[in-house]
Structure 1
Amino acid sequence: MVFDTTGSNSEPVILEERGCGIGCSLVDCEKQLVVACDEAIYLYTADGRGPCFAFDAPKVLLRQFKHYLLLATAAPSSMAPVLEKPAGGSPPPEAADNRVYSYNDATTFTILDTKNKLVAYTGVVAGGVRGVATEWGSVFVLGGHGTLDLFSEKDLLEKLDILYRQNLYPLAVKMAQNGNYDTASVAGIYKRYGDWLYGKDEFDTAMAQYMQTIGFVEPSYVIRKYLDAQRLGNLTSYLQELHAAGMATSDHTTLLLNCYTKLRDEERLNQFIHTQEDYQFDVDTAIHVCRQAGFYEQALYLADKFAKTEMYLKLKIADQGDVAAALVYMSGLGGAEVSSYLARFGRTCLGSLPRETTELLVDVCIKGMDARAADAAGGSALAAAAAPLMSMRRIQHLFADQPAWLAAFLEQVIARRWQQGDSAGELSEAEDGEMKSAWNTLLELYLCGVESPPHDSPGPQANNQSGPRADRPTPKERALELLRDSHARIDWDRAYILCASNGFVEGIAALHEQRGDVPALLGLYIEHDDLPNMRRLLGEHGEAQPELYTKALHYFARNPQLADSAELLTECLATIERRNLMSPLRVLQALGGSEQSSVTLGMVRGYIMRQIGATSKRIEDNRSAIAASTAEHKAHSAKMEALKTKPVVFQSTKCTSCMAPLDLPSVHFLCKHSYHQRCLGDVGDSCPRCQAENQRLEDQRRAQEAGARQHDAFFDRLARAEDGFDVIASWFAKSPFAFAKLVDQ
């Protein structure tokens, strides 16, 4: 029954109808009413019934010591009821059930630990329990036979040792916790408990105990046990708790990922890698583990999060085969990065998506990506243009199996990188080398018959489709355009070797035209019996280079069987004759100077007759000129002799200068001119009228004397002359070798 003493007229509250024996109730140190009934021990508070302890035995005594309850119980079989009727006939007041118990030898003394909820001691007291006293930290029990038993509380270590021996580890843990043991010591008990359970093959229960040791027991101790036993499920749980406690290392995280992958537990794997804030593990190893187990999405997530670009691309290309996504990913990288990754993965990408890969390679090589990135970020176009270019020679090997796409790649790079205003003079040495390499490689591809895919074709297989191709030039036509392009920086020697090895005559001709090597070009036409081009070439360059006709005449002389040989020979001779390009002797030597010559006299009869007639006429003209010159020479010689040996008669009566009659003093010259002395003045010793002509002759004589010493000029003219004998005769006629010294008259 409970009374509320805080209010007035409060009604009592009955908590229990029955009671207990005398001496079987008390108020403990926590102000709780303890009632020891036969079936249990009940605790009551002001609020009502509290907890109870099941202890089925007849109670004869209840005492308290610290947190222990001291009980004396008697077995019903050893207890004899004694009925004593008083005079009034009513039962004794202390016997609630109309029975009175007497103590006997079967009394049992029990110490109940209420804090740890265990029986700390139980034993039989001989003669029954007559009294219990608690003093000096001990319990004294007085027995019915006059015995006094002393009970002392063991210290905590002794208690735990007893529990260890009985393998009562849960009680040991509880006792240690209630005894304010430090956490490390409690963890040691959990470890012992776990080891005991592990030895009994109770792995799940043992793991629950090991989890309580996290932070105090080395994780490797637990991990080794469960790795050896292949209990990955339990090990995974332990590693998860280790991470939750923040005690995991990178090795633990790697091991946990391995466990997830081996258990195929994708859900927990995703949860782990997506919710981690501090990734304390080797990312490369984690990615490798996920990749090996086939968890590609998880590996991609880690690779992307930690910027493991190479691993990300490996997963996308090699494992998932998603080349399109890989190309998109690479397009978002910087110029230097994308260059290295394209060099590594480009061949695989070209095998799957040649067009998209080629476009990306072109963008990298022409700064397109950097320019777009600069525009998107609001940067300067000049900064984008200053970005380093990717060397084409580093990536051309990627097209080893895709020559058609290599041609397309080079065409686009050349068109967009070097044909948009950049002149060769503005290029650096490295850039110039890149450009020449691109031109040379493209020419080689064309000469090998490689044709770049059409812009609307999905791949190189479109080249094999039948249909009209009038709008697309053939590879050889493109090669010829390339050779004739004045902007193309092609290595001449390499191009010549390529054209010669592929039998591309038009290309060789274009190369000779590019160099202006007309004799070599004529030799090429002669080698391939190309008469139309021979006729064109002779018409364009024959007059400036007469030696071309010599080669042509040799050719016609050796090949009379050609359809137009006679006609071309006649035409060639007519041109030589009309333009006076070669002497008849050289023509005849060219026609007949070879043992293989098949030219007949009838084929050149007209030319020879005309040349003989012209030569005869020239001889007659020369003879007439010689006769006239000889007569003139004789006349001048006779005149000079007369001046030297005969007197001169001056008959002039007028002054040549003023045309007035001569008077003394007068001056007469051998040229038959006479002057007044006053009209001459200071003109010197020469006739004023003849002075200019005399000076001209004197200068001419001095020039001849000086020219006699200029041997280089003579030999140069002799080398350039068609008729060397004519040059020598002309020089002899001018007496260049007569070193006569002029004498001033």
Structure 2
Amino acid sequence: MPRSVVLDERGVALHCGAVSEDGDMAVGQSDAVYFYTPEERSVCFGFEGDKKYLGFFKQYLLVAHVDPRGRHQVNVYDLQNKFIAFNWTLTNTAKIGAGGGGRFGDDAAEEIRHVVSEFGAVFVLSSLGYVYRLMEIDTTSKLDILFRKHLYSIAISLAFSSNYDLTSIMDIFRAYGDHLYQKGDFDGSLRQYARTIGTAARESCYTKLKDVKKLDSFLLIDDEQTTDDAPTTVDTRKQPKQQLTFDVETALTVLRDYYPTHALALAKKHHEHSWYLKIQLDRIHSETLSDADHARVQDALTYIEGLSFAEANLNLRKYGRTLVTHVPGPTTELLKALCTGRFHDSNGEKADPANFLHLFVSHRAQLREFLEYIVHVETVANPQIGNTLLEMVLSDVGRGGPNAAVDDLDEEHDEGGRAPGGGTASTSAAKNEAAVLALLDNPRVKYDEDHALILMQMHGTGKRYLYQKLHMYHMLVQHHMEEGDNVAVLEQVKQHGESNPNLWLLALKYFSEKKGNDPTYTHLQTLLSWMDSSSKSLQIPPLQVVAILSQARDLPLSVVRQYVVNQLKQDQIHIDKENDEIKKFKQDTAKMRAQLTTLSSKAMVFQATKCDLCSHDLDLPVVHFMCGHSFHQNCISETDRECMTCGPEHRHFVALKTSLETKASNHELFFNQLESATDGFNTIAEYFGKGIFKADDPMMAQLGLGDEHASEARFSNEY
């Protein structure tokens, strides 16, 4: 028999003893909780209070006890990580010994009767009949609570015991180091950061420690673990068996200030092109560069030339302004190649020149050289290119400097080159005008015409070309008038006057007031003769012409006499023609009235001997129509009630009449036609002639036609 050993002489209350998963006995006493192994007493935990229940749930120790104030509590202890996972005090009360109303009696505190762990939860039964369920939250929520309380040591222990992945645990070490760093405990933060060495989390530690001069110490610790040179711990480390993992951008952020050479090597190795150029060019601030700075700028340009088309396009837009400032010639040539498909890796792709215009701020000469080359080689669809170049050319012309005219932009405009030095002012102005016109007429140049017109009006050059191109003939004639070019005015009016009748009136007023420049009014007489010969197509009332000419007080009657006489003759011819038509219509009307009278008052004799349909001799039965046509009865349908010969024409007139009656009720259509017509009287006459108006039509009153015109309207409607 093995000899028994008494480990403790004290007993234990009911439900205050339990066995853990490891086989250890836990006993709850009033002063502490004691653990026993089969051989000896083990650890104890000083949990004071009268124990009511003791048990285990997963890795937790459940203890229900009474505190010194007599309140029942439930505590959940994480023995492995040494912290209280849960603490709860029962605070409910109930009246005991109360009367019928329940208003008097003693307050009884809620007590714990039993604790059970089942179904993944802990159930607590109280003396008031309540059952409470305690659920374990997930590890992430636990860690969030510990982080808020800055209990990082416990959080690290919990993460390890919960088998968290190494990356997440390193993040906790880093967060712990950040907390100590903010508190000013740099040595403590250094110890926590040191635990992240060898992982991707360490790069973010560089940024923190370099500001407090602890970076060297950190690199030394890193060096002890990796046996590499400290300044090149990131970019020059060579491990034949294992490649070090780190965040390249974070490393570049740290190294660019203290170790720019190593940062450049790292960026080049990992193809971080933007970082390479940023390190080289961000330190360039002054206009005057040292030899070292100039070498960096030149190296950056060479580096871009070796990139792919997409990368070169992207980085030139970002860093091109610095390059244009310090190496304008080579940079402009590189941009030309990029925008015309001559870049080594373009594969036919071409960059949009408009994306690089902002690079040439304060570099006007290079911008003009760039744009002129583009429009000379390529057909650019972006109007921003043409607008910018046109504005530059006009500005140079206005300044009259050495760049007062553009180079040849098209072979057909070679004569419009630069004005030679020493020429007269008129010759220079003419050549400048030709240069602007060459640019406007260049088929490779696309520009916004409205924008170009504004520029032309501001600088006074090239307006005639744009007026002609935009069909702004009114402005073109006005421009010729301002320049006093009477011949050009007459040419434009004669060429475009039919589609723009107002040009005749504008020229008429202009020439009637030009006595000083044209004493004999030769141009006015020429204009009037053209208007006289084209009066039918122009539709300009002679009274309007006379009204305009009457405003010129010095204009002699002899100038206008022939025009007025010719117009009166034409009007008389027109009146005679209309009178002839009126007589003819009256004769036709009288004839039709006589026919109506005959049909209504006299018998009609049908003398036709042949059928008008089959052309055979008429045999009874025969059908005669009042129009004079006769048919065999079997040649026409029994349902036909009209002549087969006159029927289609009759139906046409009936449909036309119905349409006119419908049109008569559409007053809005009539007034729209009246408003848009060049001669409103003709529109009203047409409505009267077609019998659209009726005597009782309300539109008659709107037109001012009262009862005195009722008979004429009724007559028009009847016939």
Query: Looking at CA atoms only, which structure, 1 or 2, has the larger radius of gyration?
Result: 1
The two structures have a TM-score, normalised by structure 2, of 0.48
The two structures have a TM-score, normalised by structure 1, of 0.47
